[in-house]
Amino acid sequence: MADPLIRLRGISRVYGNGDIAVHALDRVDLDIAEGEFVAIMGPSGSGKSTALNVIGCLDSPTSGTYHFDGVEVANLTRDQRALLRRHYLGFVFQGYNLLARTSALHNVELPLIYKGLPSEARHAAARAALAKVGLADRAHHDPGALSGGQQQRVAIARALVGNPRVVLADEPTGNLDTKMSAEIMELLARLNRDEGLTIIMVTHEDDMARFARRLIWMVDGRIDRDGPTPRAA
């Protein structure tokens, strides 16, 4: 049996000291295999976003070990962790985080600029990523000319453009209505199913979590339940 792509062992994240210390994560053990679609849920303050940030190398654990594809992340330098994010991880956030006065195409290209790709290669990769999310005909539209659902599709294309092994999505439908939310989730489910993309998503919406194949429920910084979603059962 292959080793998991992501392995957390005894991961804790503590903010503050003494009586005011907050244990956002409390000795979490978690394995995620390549190709999984995982939803992480839980009440406010349960640690779900902290767990996503640790996996995405946006935050560092106070204790425990985190292996990504067999490599101990704690042993990496800051620059090496940045390279891990740049080459292996894609991020999708609730707020889209698009540059307002530049086109969808240029927004999608941004991660490739940091990789040092020449402009022709950037343009081609960005157009291909926009085609994957159904926005090939919106490449030259600014975010202000796009609906909320289209803006989130641009953000997903930006996450995909570097061919990551994992996409980390933090409340990706939080700013969308029910119809647009379902469209975004159907897109993520298709990318997982057809391309084998590993997706780890934080959500507070049961209807959105059902698009995932596995549900992790967190309470007080710990994993309370872990199993298949009703949709996947």
Please report, for the chain, the start and end positions of each structural domain, with discontinuous segments joined by +. Answer: 34-49+77-228
pLDDT score for 231: 61
pLDDT score for 232: 54
pLDDT score for 20: 87
Residues of the chain with pLDDT under 50: 233
Instruction: Give pLDDT tens digits for 31-60.
Output: 999 999 999 999 999 999 999 999 999 999
pLDDT score for 116: 83
pLDDT score for 115: 84
pLDDT score for 38: 98
Instruction: Give pLDDT tens digits for 162-193.
Output: 999 999 999 999 999 999 999 999 999 999 99
Tell me the whole-structure pTM to 2 decimals: 0.94
CA distance 161 to 71: 24
CA distance 40 to 214: 9
Q: Which residues of 194-217 are buried (b: 16+ CB within 10 A; e: fewer)?
A: eeebbbbbbbeeeebbbbbbbbbb
The CATH number of the domain covering residues in 34-49+77-228:
3.40.50.300
Alpha carbons within 13 angstroms on the beta-carbon side of residue 95 total: 3
Show the beta-strand stretches assigned E in 126-191.
166-170
pLDDT score for 1: 62
Burial of 76 (0-12, 13-18, 19+ CB in 10 A): middle
Task: Tell me 144's DSSP state.
Answer: G
pLDDT score for 70: 95
